[in-house]
Amino acid sequence: MPNFSIGVDLGGTNLRIAAVNQQGDLMEKVTLGTRVALGKDHVIHEMCDAIRLLAAKYRDGGALQGIGIGVPGIIDMKTGMLRESPNLPGWAESPVQAQIEGLLGTRVILENDANVAALGEKWLGAARDVDDMAMLTLGTGVGGGIVLKGRIWHGMTGMAGEFGHMTVEPEGPPCGCGNRGCLEQYASATAVVRMAKEAIASGRAPGLAKAASSDPEFNAKAIYNLAIQGEEEARKIFGRLGRALGICIANLVNAFNLNMYVVGGGVSSAWEAFSPFIFEELRQRSLVYAATAPAFLSGGEGASGHVGPEGSTKTIITRALLGSDAGLYGAAQLPMTIT
């Protein structure tokens, strides 16, 4: 029987725990709410109880390699301290890894959630045949992770992969980080809604205005639905999103010449609406892309799905394949690869 490990996706809302074996089979997944209001110790104890149950259940089948935990925040990889975590109030500057290790008596590896998502897509998803890749996660904000030679690239202080705050337009909309024109101001769900509201306020988007007035949620998904129905202003928003992503990815391609750039997160569901604009920008803005574009690959540029080893000297930009499970798989792989 293959050995296994436990991957945890510890989000600000959901707490998900999975047992995954070395072959990448998800044996069981448990989903709990993250009751952040009850405090860090409560959440950690609940999580550890669930991990213990899952580990006990599969222990006869193979050896437990350890626990990998993806957390939204900045982690000191040397000490396992969680330095900052806006979505987990009260958790900053605490030795989370040591606390969980103490409770479980098992090896625990803490890792940033965008990094484990990238690792998951590398292990079992869109990037499984490449060694060097970056993943951009388009959600409420825009996160990112980098995998070089099969391992997460942390950078000097664990802050690598802040693609959401790369400047796309020097005089663009202000961002919470203090900059203007960050990618996140164009390519996040928050930005999609903001751009729609701006269009409504300008008076040039009666279709969006009508939809917004009848839909109390009026979220990025609703705006995407309008775009695929052909609503012009909604389409323009996804055009801006795709162009901003294209500028950012072109810069990454020119700087680092990686094999693959994977676009994931909830907003990537709108891939059909924005991806043509990514490729348009890339062809104009990246001489490295122009020299390595996969024009002759089956499916061609922008094909969605798994790209095999025949693409190993082509620059591939594609959708993520594992959805919200990417982080669980990546977290589970951590104890299998890091020795």
Binding site for its own copies (CB under 8 A): 132, 144, 146, 148, 153-163, 165-170, 177-180, 247, 250-252, 254-259, 284-288, 290-292, 312-313, 315
8 Å CB contact between 246 and 285: yes
Q: In this complex, which beta carbon is closest to its own copies, that of residue 9 or of residue 184?
A: 184
Nearer to its own copies by Cβ, of 7 and 72: the residue is 72
Q: Classify residue 56 as exposed, middle or buried by CB count within 10 Å of its CB (0-12, 13-18, 19+).
A: exposed
| 35 close to 43: Cβ distance less than 8 angstroms | yes
DSSP annotation of 82 reads: E
Question: Toward its own copies, which CB reaches closer, 166 or 332?
Answer: 166
Q: With contact defined as beta carbons under 8 Å apart, do 77 and 22 qualify?
A: no
Which of 48, 147, 119 lies closest to 334 in space, CA to CA? 119
Nearer to its own copies, 3 or 140 (CB): 140
CB of 167 to its own copies, least distance (A): 5
> In angstroms, rounded to a whole number, what is the distance separating the alpha carbons of residues 329 and 238?
30
Q: CB of residue 337 vs its own copies: minimum separation in angstroms? A: 17
Please state the closest distance from residue 208 (CB atom) to its own copies, in A.
Answer: 25
Three-state secondary-structure class, residue 229:
coil
Q: How far is the CB of 130 from its own copies (least distance, A)?
A: 8
Considering the complex, state which of residue 16 and residue 243 has its C-beta at the smaller distance from its own copies: 243
* Shortest Cβ 84–its own copies spacing (Å): 9
Kindly give the pairing relationship between strand 133-138 and strand 260-264. parallel
Rounded alpha-carbon distances, angstroms, from residue 301 to 223, 250, 259, 292: 26, 14, 13, 11
Nearest approach, Cβ of residue 284 and its own copies (Å): 6
Which residue in this structure is represented by tokens 């958790």? Answer: 91
- Which helix (H) or strand (E) covers residue 295, if one does? none
For its own copies, the closer of residues 18 and 247 by Cβ is 247
